[in-house]
């Protein structure tokens, strides 16, 4: 990544979910200028952190159809066969699951991995285990989405809370037509995002690989 690209990423405008946090930081900074220098510094640092954490950069998805893209920035911590979340009603047959861990330094805006129709959205309360653990996919609080492709196959994408992340935001609703790479939500302060590929589709990525949400190709759905 070039210096210009890095600068563009760092200075990207914030996601609307961060507006109130940024406002709190700015207010603390202003009050601190009047009352106490330490409060001004604290407000400034908090504001800068929020501007960085909630950054919402533009992404350019590949133009070729039939690809499954990364639903989030971060590092792949697991690639394993697993059944999709039961609440989605996609059956219990194992399919490839690609799990992406988002550290506090990653962009936390989630993006749709495929073109299709959102057929199911289900929120489930749970634990707040470390999002790096494999059992976080099963035990942690999560929001699961099922997306039906044009050929009838279905993909599942799951937003998972972590030890610090306690707020999952999803901005799409059942019945919506979605496009690969478009934003659909955000998880605050460290989390995990799982992608369940259609049965028989193999991932083209490896554990430890860095993902760019909405751009990195995870699988070829037509292979």
**Residues belonging to the active site:** 191
Tokens of 37: 């220098």
Dihedral sign from CA coordinates of 150, 156, 157, 158: positive
CA triple 153-158-159, angle to 5 deg: 155
Q: Give dist(CA 69, CA 169) in Å, integer.
A: 20
Q: Kindly state the tokens that stand for 220.
A: 């070829």
Hey, is 145 helix, strand or coil? Answer: strand
Residue 158 contacts residue 145 (beta carbons within 8 Å): yes
What is d(CA 218, CA 83) in angstroms, rounded to the nearest whole number? 18
């Amino acid at each position: 990544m070039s210096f210009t690209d890095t600068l563009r990423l760092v200075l990207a405008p914030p996601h609307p979910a961060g507006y109130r946090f940024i406002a709190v930081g700015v207010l603390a900074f202003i009050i601190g200028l009047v009352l106490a220098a330490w409060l001004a510094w604290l407000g400034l640092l908090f504001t800068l952190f929020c501007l960085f954490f909630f950054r919402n950069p533009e992404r350019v998805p590949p133009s070729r159809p039939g690809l499954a893209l990364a639903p989030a920035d971060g590092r792949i911590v697991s690639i394993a066969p697993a059944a999709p979340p039961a609440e989605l009603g996609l059956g219990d047959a194992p399919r490839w699951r690609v799990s992406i861990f988002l550290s506090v330094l990653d962009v936390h805006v989630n993006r749709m991995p495929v073109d299709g129709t959102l057929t199911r959205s289900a929120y489930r309360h749970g634990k707040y285990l470390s999002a790096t653990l494999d059992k976080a996919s099963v035990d942690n609080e999560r929001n699961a989405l099922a997306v039906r492709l044009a050929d009838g196959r279905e993909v599942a994408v799951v937003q998972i809370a972590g030890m610090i992340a306690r707020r999952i935001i999803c901005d799409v609703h059942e019945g919506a037509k979605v496009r690969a790479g478009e934003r659909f939500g955000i998880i605050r302060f460290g989390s995990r995002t799982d992608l369940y590929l259609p049965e028989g589709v193999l991932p083209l990525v490896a554990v430890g690989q860095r993902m760019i949400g909405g751009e990195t190709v995870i699988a070829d759905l037509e292979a």
